[in-house]
Every structure is written in structure tokens, then in C-alpha cells.
Chain A
Amino acid sequence: MKMEAHHPIVWFARRIVSGVVVVWAAATFTFLIQCVLPGDRAQIIINVTSGNVGPASSAELAAINAKYGFDQPIAVQYGKYILGIVHGDLGESYQQHRPVAGIIAEQIGPTIVLSVTALLFAWIIAILTTLFIAGRDNIWAKLLNDTQVFFATAPPYWLATILLVVFALKLRILPVIGGSSPIGLILPTLALALELSGFFGQVVQNEFTRVLEQPFVTSARARGMSDFGVRLRHVLRHAALPGITLSGWALGKLLSGAILIEVVFARQGLGGVLVAATSSRDVPIVSGAVLISAGLFVLVSLIVDLTYRVVDPRIKLT
């Protein structure tokens, strides 16, 4: 069965298998996490649900243990858990008594909208600033570059709080609670995009400064192309490849950032749910989110690689 190792189908199949392996390993990880949870899970479920503090009766504990299957051997629990995941069942929230898959499905939409808009914004900001500063050595370029580094470093939730106070509360240009309206998306998106644009900008700028020194740029200039024209054409072309990779890489950063930003703006989304779940030890929700994001990551990196293939067919697939 020695097929060509770089044959697209073989490549694709291998990618799928390794993706499944990653998700399976993440599932195993989240399962183990649930098992090592210190304290009795049934006790936590009872007290979190009723708001009680102190030990529950053994009858109550037994009922919960039976309901969630905590009284079964670990191996059986593990088997059931994996089987459930295969069927799209991520378990039931300890606190909300609803399927985790449903809870996450309900909340992930706004988070994805926020992340994708922020990604776009980040690229727009990064490309615009690069067009302006790359290869230039005046004070404005320096200032802009420093600003970029500042945004890449400053804590995003802190920037978000400042944006909220300045633009929504003091200047009243934008709403405090945006809800799902496009205008309400501006501040959270900006808060999330600024940080990312700093990262993107720095990378693209390095690339681009190198490109500007290449002979074909000089020849383009010699042909009478305007400086701006040269910049625009080559920035876009040379930003494309690192752009795809960076966008894939940014997924994790975006999700992490979105959690914080959503909390600052009290927005609907995974952030609020996860923070509540973390402080009430609602492990199935946190585990579910981990699994989903691992799945997303696998999917996105597959898309990135495929796009690479399309953009530049010479790329060797691994």
C-alpha cells in the first residue's frame, strides 16, 4: 500500500486521523481532570445547587452518585464518557442540569462572532500601520511602531475597561451594553483586536521591510510606480502567507482574550459561562469548552494547511 506519501488524499487522511487523536487525547485529559477533582463531586453538586454549606446526608449523596454514575468503576465511566462524546454528548452541567453541548452551542456563537470580527479588525489595523511605517524612519513611524508594541503588551482586559469608560461612559459615543447589535460589537472588538494587531503588525512589518529591499521593488519603482502603489501591492501579497499561519495561531489567543473581554463588557458568550463554571466547580462545562476548542483548533489548522496548498501549491505537505 505504498501510496505516494505526499498524495493529497493520503495527506488529508493522515491529517484527519491526527486531528481525531488530538481530540481524543484532549477528551482523556478532561476526563482525568474530572476524576482528580478534590473533594466529593456529589457533595459539591448538592451544595452548589441548593446553596448549602456543610455535609449532605448519605442518602442524598447516594442519589447523586447514582444519577451521574460516580459509583461505577473508572474504566466504565471513561468508556461512557468517550462514547457520549462520539454521540455529541458532553455530559450534563452540575449546576444548570442541562446538557453541556447545548449550553456551549448557545454561547459560542457570540464568542465566535467577536473573535472573527476582531481577527479582521486586527488585520486591517496591522496592514494599514505597516503600509505607513515599514521602511520609514521618521518620528511618526517610530511613534506608531511603539504604539503597536504597547498594544501587543498591555493587558487586553485593562484596555477594554479603559475603552469602556472613555467611549461609552464619558464620551457616550458607543453603548455600554451592546448586546448583539453591530454597534455594540465595536468596543469589544477593538479591545480584542488592538492586542492582536500589535502582534500581526510586528511580524508583517519585519517581512515587509525585507521585501522593500528586494530588487523587484526597486525595479517596480524604476518603472514609475508610486511609493504607495508599491507598498500596497507588495504588502498585501507578502502579508498573505504569514497571515494565514498567524490567523490560525491567533485562534487560541482570540479565545482566551474573548473570555476576558466578554466579562468586561458583560457580553453574552462563553466567557461568562466559563467564569461562573470555574468558580462553582462545574467541571463538565469547563471540560466541554476545552474539548470544543481543541476540536476548533484541529479544524482551523486543517483549514490553514489547505489554504496554504491553494495559495502556494509548491508547499510540501507534512
Chain B
Amino acid sequence: MSMFAEATVSRPLKEVLAIVRRVPFRVAVCLIIIGLFALAAMAPKVLQTHDPLAIDLRSSLQSPSIGHWFGTDQLGRDLYSRVVEGTGQSLAIGLGATALSMSIAVVFGVAAALSGGVCDSILSRIVDVLFAIPTLLLALVFVTVFGPSVLTEVIAIGIGTAPGYARMIRGQMLAIKGTGYVEAAKVLGHPFPRIVWRHILPNAMNPLTAMMTIGVGQAIIWASGLAFLGLGVAPPAPEWGALLNAGRNYVIYAWWLEIIPGLAVTAFALSLTIVGRHLQDRLEGKT
């Protein structure tokens, strides 16, 4: 692994363009899917065919058709428009949780790696403790204490997934700290904080970009898992997990209410994973 060769994240535009041109087909497809979901999150109205909350008692529980692409629920609400509507909240939870988790991880990881000694072992132990508690269980603890809400979900999943990242960052930081490259920078008389900020951190963060991409998808799946247990965001908000939870009761007679929201979650998480993997390969392939 000689990602240390590139000293900073900033690359010439030309290089970026070159990368874009080399994007394989499946990654391109995934990027389009992610783009569509992002659009759904930011401007749901553009994509919706119906009002996601409009109740139409006459068209209750219709299977997918031209009029209702994904079918309708018990109250005749258009499932497609509800899935689109729910994207924003699900994405917000995924991004929020990942951002929180990253912030915690960076603080812990960097502090542990740079301080070393007793401080390192204390911080590492704290991470160990959190790591020792399964993510879902930690999330349940938070829901038990603070009650279910979007914020609880974000905090619970953010903290639950942080230890993994923290360990990774610490490892990266230590590896980079130990290279002759940093020693060289020291010899050249660069102040230590500057070395950390300009050289160590960016290099440690590179592999994390890929992990984060995958992490957003995973966070959404955790959040929908909580909602699936009935401990998530309350309806009528058509958050994906809430749709999955509601759909489960109808699955024998109205499969679409369960299958389609699940496919949406999977499609999004899968796309993120494939793109994340691609980024990872890219970084490693630079050897």
C-alpha cells in the first residue's frame, strides 16, 4: 500500500476526468441510481406521480399497474410516491448517522494514535467497550432511554457504528505516523499540527471515503431495522423502515407493500456498496 505516495487528496482536474472516463458500466449504473435517489430526497415532487399522503379509499390495496407503478396501500395511497417521499428521511438518517459516526471515530482514532501511551490505551479500551456491544443492541439502549425518534436513530446508529471506523482510523494513523515520510517532514521542520492536518489525516481518510460510502447504505439498513421492530420513526411519515414495517402485516395478500420498499432499500445500499468498493479498488490499485 503506497497511498502515501500521494501527499494530499487534492488532485488535478485532469486526473479526475480520467477516472470518470474509466468508470465501469455497473458503477455508472449505480451512480445513476444514487443520483435518482438523491433527486428523490431533494426534490420529491419532481418524481412523484401522486400525493404521497392523499387518501383514496376507492383504490385501496391495488397491485402495481400503469396508474400506480408500485401499487397502493390500504388507504389507496400511491406506494411509488410514498417510497419517493420516504427517501429524504431515510437518506438524512443514513447520512446523519454516518457523519456522526465519522466525527466520533476521527476524534477517537486521531487522538488515540497521536497521543499514544496511557491515553491511547484508555481511548482504545473505550472503543473496545462500544465495539463489544452489537450495533442493534446499542441502538435499542438508546431507544429505550430516549424513546423512538429520528434523532435517537441517528445518535444510536452513529455511536453504534463508530468503533469500527475509529479502529480503522487509528490503525491508518499509526501506519502513516511510522513511515519515514512523516519523519522526513519533521526533519524539514514542518510544525507537527501541520503535518497531521496536511499529511497524516488526508492519507488516513482516503480509505475511509470508500468505507463511508458503504456505511451510509448500512446505516439506512440499521435504521430501517429499528423501524421494522416498531421502534423507529412514527408513521404517517413514509420512511422506508416504516413502510417495511407496515408492509409486513400485508405480505400474504399484498406482496408489493413489503417487497418494493425492501427493493428500494436494497437498490440504494447496493449501489453505494458497489461505488464504495470501486473507490476502494481504485485506491488500492494505485500501488
Contacts and interface: CB of A to CB of B under 8 A. Distances in A.
Do A and B assemble together?
yes
A253 interface: yes
Contacts of B269: 153-154
Nearest to B222: A256
B129 A153 contact: no
Nearest to A297: B132
A259 B265 contact: no
A220 interface: no
A38 B252 contact: no
A157 interface: yes
A46 interface: no
Interface string B231-275: 100000000000010001001100100110010011001100110
User: Chain A: interface residue count, which band?
Assistant: 35 or more
B24 to A, nearest CB: 12
A154 B262 contact: yes
A90 to B, nearest CB: 14
A286 B156 CA distance: 14
A140 interface: no
Contact of B258 (A33, A150, A158): A158
Q: Is the interface of A mostly helix, strand, loop or mixed?
A: helix
A127 to B, nearest CB: 21
A293 B132 contact: yes
A18 B125 contact: yes
A281 interface: yes
A201 B90 CA distance: 28
A278 interface: yes
A207 to B, nearest CB: 14
Contact of A294 (B129, B140, B224, B262): B129
Interface in B127-161: 128-129, 131-138, 140-141, 143-146
Contacts, number: 136
Interface stretch (A2-10, A21-29, A180-188): A21-29
Q: Is the interface of B mostly helix, strand, loop or mixed?
A: helix
Contact of A158 (B125, B145, B265, B273): B265
Given A33-B141, A38-B146, A290-B133, A275 B231 contact: yes
Nearest to A26: B129
B159 to A, nearest CB: 11
Contact of B251 (A150, A161, A283, A297): A161
A36 B147 CA distance: 13
B105 interface: no
Contact of B131 (A30, A275, A297): A297
User: Chain B: interface residue count, which band?
Assistant: 35 or more
Interface string B112-134: 00000000000001101101111
Question: Which of A36, A155, A297 has the largest number of chain B CB atoms within 10 A?
Answer: A155
Interface string A56-83: 0000000000000000000000000000
B140 A293 contact: no
Contacts of A157: 225, 228, 244
A22 B129 contact: yes
A162 interface: yes
Interface of B: 125-126, 128-129, 131-138, 140-141, 143-146, 217, 221, 224-225, 228-231, 244, 248, 251-252, 255, 258-259, 262, 265-266, 269-270, 273-274
Given A38-B146, A281-B144, 18 more contacts: A33-B141, A150-B266, A153-B217, A154-B266, A155-B225, A155-B228, A155-B244, A157-B244, A158-B265, A165-B252, A169-B252, A252-B135, A259-B136, A260-B136, A260-B225, A278-B143, A278-B231, A293-B133
Interface of A: 18, 21-22, 25-26, 29-30, 33, 36-38, 149-150, 152-155, 157-158, 161-162, 165, 169, 251-253, 255-257, 259-260, 263-264, 274-275, 277-279, 281-283, 286-287, 289-290, 293-294, 297-298
17 contacts: A26-B133, A37-B145, A153-B266, A153-B270, A155-B224, A157-B225, A162-B259, A255-B137, A263-B228, A263-B229, A274-B137, A275-B140, A275-B231, A277-B144, A278-B143, A282-B144, A289-B137
